[in-house]
Amino acid sequence: MEITVTLNGKRLKAEIDPGELLLDFVRRQGCYSVKRGCETSNCGLCTVWLDGTPVLSCSTLAARADGREVTTLEGVEKEAAAFGRYLAGEGAEQCGFCSPGLIMNVLAMERELSRPTEEEIKEYLAGNLCRCTGYMGQLRAIERYLNERGGETDGENG
């Protein structure tokens, strides 16, 4: 079957198998940031946005993306790099395998929640697993990022 998808701002038509996963589809289009982890909806490594909302691409059929917008880390590179600097600054990026999925959810959370509390952050990111860190570094990085970005938005930076 053929689908039409806007992937990272570019409209494309592609042939897919009806059972093809969105994970395999985006990787087939060269979006290798999207990682295959558990494949059972438990780790968050395969997170992409479908019309701006995070979904697990390992449990979403590519056919569901027909006529919709799909965004991967490759489509939000500038913001991802900005947050990545906070992760590195807190020593929260070790092997980095989980980072793309985490970053997609942090950026979605930033759009969705205004000044989230620590509990809200933990709840939002509960589906993002990391084998390397104890999560405290990630949490510090997220809080610093949101605070400093919030300051920028409020014109308080500098």
Question: Which stretches of the chain bind ligand FES, using CB under 6 A?
Answer: 36-39, 41-46, 56, 58, 93-98, 130-133
Q: State in angstroms the smallest separation of the CB of 46 from ligand FES.
A: 3
Nearer to ligand FES, 96 or 150 (CB): 96
Give the residue with the Cβ less far from ligand FES, 53 or 157: 53
Residue 38 vs 152, nearer CB to ligand FES: 38
Shortest CB 58 distance to ligand FES, Å:
3
- Residue 5: phi, psi to the nearest 5? -135, 145
For residue 48, the cross-strand partners are 55
CB of 91 to ligand FES, least distance (A): 10
Please identify, using beta-carbon distances, which residue of 135 and 157 lies nearer to ligand FES.
Answer: 135
Q: Min. distance of Cβ 135 from ligand FES in angstroms?
A: 9
- What tokens were used for 98? 């989980």
Q: At what angle do helices 77-89 and 136-153 cross, to 10 degrees?
A: 130
Residue 158 tokens read as 């500098």
* C-beta of 23 vs 76, nearer to ligand FES: 23
Q: How far is the CB of 47 from ligand FES (least distance, A)?
A: 8
Residue whose pair of structure tokens reads 């400093």 in the numeric block: 148
Rounded to an integer, what distance in angstroms lies between the CA atom of residue 5 and that of residue 13? 6
CA 94 to CA 72: how far, in whole Å? 21
30, with CB counted inside 10 A (0-12, 13-18, 19+), is exposed
